[in-house]
């Protein structure tokens, strides 16, 4: 009698089981934390240039995560190729993406930059369909299009007239970097320990940003203490904490569907700016926020409900 071959067990047990509601909670918290960073950067951008701001932000994040690594049992990658991919991913996302985005918002209206960068989820959906076998669900595409209409409304309502070709190209570069990093993480890094992967990536990004150290020393000396604390907050919450939550979520959820939750960010930014900065949104921006929420909800709520039923 012929026995069947053993089933490979390379994947963690949790990876093969259907996703539950916790990854969705982690994803939504990530979006709130990422949205808060836009509100903070609006103030800090007047005192910190793109490179030094990224170095201070990533430095704060890597200090927090290094302390966390000391009190837990990290699982380090065993493959040299995984280490190499993690380093490339870290430099691309935590150095190149943040510096490029900071630079874009200095040469183009922030709302316009956000609109261009937010084609990232659409690119992720296409890349994930082509390279990860996730397909292109019609519900996902409809949700992204509806949200993009909303982002366009928010941009039109907040446009200040600052626009350059260079800023547009930088924003497009940021969107491509975002999409490439999400797909790279999902394909090669999502099975590893998310804390270790995030720590390694941020460490690589911090080391790459050390070229901005002289500028950071000069700007820290001149910037108000409150602004410096805000940039440190960017490192601790929207980076160290949020990217760990993101790493957990992407381990269980399709990259295309998960990235579509990022379409919530512009709407959350409008709400946070209203609550924290007292900036009452124009009617067109408020309507755009509704479109963003509806488009994202159209995409992810059915998936969340299916996950909840499997609890």
DSSP conformation letters of 94-117: IIIIHHHHHHHHHHS-HHHHHHHH
Three-state DSSP state, 192: coil
Rounded CA gap, 116 and 118, in Å?
Answer: 5
> How wide is the angle at C-alpha 259 spanned by C-alphas 255 and 262, nearest 5°?
165
Q: Which letter, b or e, does each residue of 199-230 get, where b requires 16 or more Cβ atoms within 10 Å of its Cβ?
A: bbbbbbbbbbbeebeebbeebbeebeeebbeb
Q: Residues near 293 by Cβ (< 8 Å), separated by ≥ 6?
A: 150, 264, 267
Mean pLDDT rounded to a whole number for the chain: 84
Does the pLDDT value for residue 284 go beyond 90?
no
User: Among 292, 243, 246, which residue's Cα sits nearest to residue 265?
Assistant: 292
For residue 12, the model assigns a pLDDT of: 43
**Range 63-76 average pLDDT:** 91
**Range 194-212 average pLDDT:** 96
**Range 51-55 average pLDDT:** 96
For residue 121, count CB atoms less than 10 angstroms from its CB and return exposed for 0-12, middle for 13-18, buried for 19 or more: buried
pLDDT tens by residue, 136-166: 788 888 888 888 888 888 778 766 666 677 8
Does the pLDDT value for residue 5 go beyond 50?
no
Largest CA distance in the chain: 79
**Range 22-28 average pLDDT:** 91
Rounded CA gap, 205 and 11, in Å?
Answer: 28
Rounded CA gap, 40 and 86, in Å?
Answer: 28
Rounded CA gap, 27 and 261, in Å?
Answer: 7
Q: What percent of the chain has pLDDT over 90?
A: 41
User: Crossing angle of helices 138-158/283-309, nearest 10°?
Assistant: 150
Rounded CA gap, 230 and 38, in Å?
Answer: 11
pLDDT tens by residue, 6-24: 433 334 434 445 457 889 8
Does the pLDDT value for residue 2 go beyond 50?
no
Rounded CA gap, 292 and 296, in Å?
Answer: 6
For residue 36, the model assigns a pLDDT of: 87
CA 89 to chain centre: 13
Q: Give the N- to C-terminal CA distance of the chain in Å, as an integer.
A: 39
């Amino acid at each position: 009698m012929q026995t069947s071959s053993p089933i490979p067990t390379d994947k963690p047990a949790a990876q093969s089981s259907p996703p539950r509601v916790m990854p969705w909670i982690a994803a939504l918290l990530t979006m709130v934390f990422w949205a808060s960073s836009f509100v903070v950067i609006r103030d800090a951008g007047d005192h910190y240039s793109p490179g030094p701001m990224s170095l201070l932000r990533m430095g704060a994040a890597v200090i927090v995560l290094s302390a966390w690594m000391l009190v837990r049992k990290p699982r380090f990658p065993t493959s040299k190729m995984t280490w190499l991919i993690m380093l490339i991913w870290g430099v691309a996302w935590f150095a190149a993406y943040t510096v490029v985005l900071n630079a874009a918002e200095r040469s183009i209206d922030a709302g316009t930059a956000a609109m261009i960068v937010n084609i990232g989820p659409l690119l992720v959906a296409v890349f994930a369909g082509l390279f990860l076998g996730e397909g292109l669900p019609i519900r996902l595409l409809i949700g992204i299009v509806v949200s993009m209409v909303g982002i366009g409304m928010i941009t039109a309502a907040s446009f200040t007239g600052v626009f350059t070709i260079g800023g547009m190209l930088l924003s497009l570069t940021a969107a491509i970097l975002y999409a490439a990093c999400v797909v790279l993480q999902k394909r090669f890094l999502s099975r590893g320990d998310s804390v270790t992967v995030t720590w390694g990536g941020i460490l690589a990004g911090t080391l790459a940003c050390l070229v901005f150290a002289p500028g950071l020393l000069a700007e820290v000396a001149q910037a108000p203490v409150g602004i410096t604390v805000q940039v440190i907050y960017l490192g601790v919450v929207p980076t160290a904490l949020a990217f760990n939550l993101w790493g957990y979520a992407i381990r269980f959820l399709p990259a295309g569907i998960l990235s579509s939750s990022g379409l919530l960010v512009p709407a959350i930014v409008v709400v946070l700016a209203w609550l924290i900065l007292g900036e009452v949104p124009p009617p067109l921006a408020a309507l755009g926020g509704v479109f963003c929420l509806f488009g994202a909800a159209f995409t992810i709520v059915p998936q969340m409900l299916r996950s909840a039923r499997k609890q």
